[in-house]
Amino acid sequence: MKAAIINGPGNLEIVEKPVPKPGPEEILVKIKYCGICGSDLHAFKTGFLEPSITIGHEFSGVIESVGKGCKGWSAGDRVTGNNIISCGKCSFCFNSRDNLCREVRRLGITDHGTMAEYTLFPAKDLVKLSKEAPLEQLALTEPLSVALHAVNKVSFAGKDWILIIGAGTVGLILLSLLKQKGVENVIVFETNPYRQNTALKMGASAVIDPGQKNLDQEVTSLTSNRGLSLVFECAGLPETIQEACSQAAAGGKAVILSICYQPVEINFLSLVTQEIDIVSAFGKTGSEFTEAAGMIAEGLIDLFPLVTGIIPVDKIHEAFNHPASGSIKTLVQF
């Protein structure tokens, strides 16, 4: 079978691997779509993954065969799955915080992922979908579950003004999710014109290019001086995390869900004197993943505007080497 690996910085390869056989409680999934994630592009740039590991973790597919002990699963079932395989035994797992489990296997990072014709998945981490479920959009279950986890960490009211910094896949999904949950006013900070436009189409009240406007003035006038009760940071840069902390109004919260590899200098004086909380949100729990899959399958959220390209696997090099400036989510079709 064809599988994508990263063999050092800037070197993506499609290699031939044997189709794996499912062991007890394992399922062999034939991949239909696998999304290219920002973290895959980061791994491509830095080459930090083991070259033998198959990349990819945002997928949908169809069961090819099942191992022993997989009751209730059969060949032909449509599925997606949570790539974070937690231990199920530790205190984090027992307390529904399995995103913090210390014994995890991360498919596509530490173990073979889903950018391949087939993948092996533990049955307990798969979600079964209806026959009509839209497989293209279901490949976005993983980023939806990440957005859902961030939203679940805070409370808000429909009249609150909320800011999203960064309208990549997760930022735009958050926008969609907040609108779906009845939030009227969401402002988006984004520099890319295509993403700015998509954010407006998906219901943003205003989109501001942080490079071009006086942000404080803009926010004050848009919110009629009320300020932002919540800021979601989805860009992952030191300056955008600083911006998130400084944009939250007194008593508000800055939710950081991006991964930023550099240290960030924060002025705690203004945070403390205005009681602004920094809330961190990492990944998603298994139950949030299942909920996210259900939302897409039942048509409660429409993520199709985010799918900007569906490419065959032999075009994958181009997608990694020259991601189009308008691209949001590219799916590789197997």
Query: Per CB under 5 A, does 86 bind Zn ion?
Result: yes
Residue type at 199?
A
**Least Å distance between CB 145 and Zn ion?**
10
Spatial separation of the C-alpha atoms in residues 29 and 72, rounded to whole Å: 15
**Least Å distance between CB 71 and Zn ion?**
23
Query: Per CB under 5 A, does 93 bind Zn ion?
Result: yes
**103: part of which helix (H) or strand (E)?**
none
Length of the chain: 334
Backbone angles phi, psi at 30, to 5 degrees: -85, 120
Query: Per CB under 5 A, does 324 bind Zn ion?
Result: no
Of the candidates 207, 212, 213, the one whose C-alpha atom is nearest the C-alpha of residue 195 is 207
**Least Å distance between CB 15 and Zn ion?**
22
Angle, CA 228 vertex, CA 222 and CA 234 arms, to 5°: 105
> Among 98-106, 108-116, 206-214, 326-334, which window interacts with Zn ion (CB under 5 A)?
98-106
Please count the residues of this chain forming the interface with Zn ion, following the rule CB under 5 A.
6
Query: Per CB under 5 A, does 101 bind Zn ion?
Result: yes
**Site for Zn ion (CB under 5 A): which residue of 87, 259, 300, 324?**
87
> Among 4-12, 91-99, 234-242, 290-298, which window interacts with Zn ion (CB under 5 A)?
91-99
CA distances (Å), 71 to each of 67, 289, 294, in order? 9, 21, 21
CA distances (Å), 89 to each of 17, 27, 107, 181, 238, in order? 32, 21, 19, 33, 36
**Least Å distance between CB 74 and Zn ion?**
28
> Among 96-104, 108-116, 259-267, 293-301, which window interacts with Zn ion (CB under 5 A)?
96-104
Would you say 34 and 58 are in contact if contact means Cβ atoms under 8 Å apart?
yes
For the beta carbon of residue 274, count every other beta carbon within 10 angstroms.
14
> Among 21-29, 79-87, 277-285, 316-324, which window interacts with Zn ion (CB under 5 A)?
79-87
**Least Å distance between CB 146 and Zn ion?**
7
Of the candidates 93, 73, 78, 34, the one whose C-alpha atom is nearest the C-alpha of residue 329 is 34
Helix, strand or coil, per DSSP, at residue 261: coil
The strand pair at 26-35 and 58-66 is best described as antiparallel
Closer residue to Zn ion, CB minimum distance, 85 or 215: 85
> Among 89-97, 245-253, 257-265, 307-315, which window interacts with Zn ion (CB under 5 A)?
89-97
Query: Per CB under 5 A, does 90 bind Zn ion?
Result: yes
**Least Å distance between CB 170 and Zn ion?**
8
Place of tokens 């993943």: 289
Query: Per CB under 5 A, does 6 bind Zn ion?
Result: no
**Least Å distance between CB 200 and Zn ion?**
25
Closer residue to Zn ion, CB minimum distance, 30 or 329: 329
Closer residue to Zn ion, CB minimum distance, 34 or 101: 101
Alpha-carbon 297 to chain mean position: 17
What residues have CB less than 8 Å from 302, skipping those under 6 apart?
A: 137, 176
Query: Per CB under 5 A, does 37 bind Zn ion?
Result: yes
Closer residue to Zn ion, CB minimum distance, 90 or 154: 90
**Least Å distance between CB 185 and Zn ion?**
28
User: What residues line the site for Zn ion (CB under 5 A)?
Assistant: 37, 86-87, 90, 93, 101
